[in-house]
């Protein structure tokens, strides 16, 4: 039986335990906000509470805005802003096929 340390153990020191990998936290889902008449008002209202570097917006057709956020905390803050502003929004659109 070979009890000599492996090259990797020699490199980091035989007494150190192996390090565990950090678990990857999935990104929060995107938010679709519908019925926005004035984009600048929505953006200004959002940046009052959330730094602009923490989210990205993309204008879609028919007055919708797609918002991608960086963390779960920013996601909760944005959903609270959207609820206070009484905007129609959804995270994922689920389409159910018509079975007629």
Helix (H, G, I), strand (E, B) or coil at 40: helix
Q: How many CB atoms lie within 10 A of CB 50?
A: 18
Give dist(CA 34, CA 41) in Å, integer. Answer: 14
Domain range list for the chain: 25-90
Does the pLDDT value for residue 72 go beyond 80? Answer: yes
pLDDT, residue 51, reads 92
pLDDT, residue 11, reads 65
pLDDT in tens, 10-64: 666 555 566 677 788 778 888 999 888 888 999 999 999 999 999 999 998 888 8
> Which CATH topology does 25-90 take?
Alpha-Beta Plaits (3.30.70)
Does the pLDDT value for residue 2 go beyond 70? Answer: no
Does the pLDDT value for residue 6 go beyond 80? Answer: no
This prediction's pTM: 0.65
| H/E element, 69 | strand 65-69
Does the pLDDT value for residue 66 go beyond 90? Answer: yes
């Amino acid at each position: 039986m070979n009890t000599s340390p492996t090259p990797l153990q020699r490199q980091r020191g035989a007494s150190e335990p192996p390090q565990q990998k950090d678990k990857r936290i999935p990104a929060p889902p995107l938010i679709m906000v519908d019925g926005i008449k004035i984009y600048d008002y929505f953006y200004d209202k959002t940046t009052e509470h959330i730094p602009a570097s923490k989210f990205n917006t993309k204008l879609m057709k028919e007055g919708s805005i797609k918002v991608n956020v960086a963390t779960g905390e920013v996601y909760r803050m944005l959903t609270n802003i959207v609820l206070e502003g009484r905007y129609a929004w959804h995270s994922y659109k689920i389409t159910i096929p018509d079975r007629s």
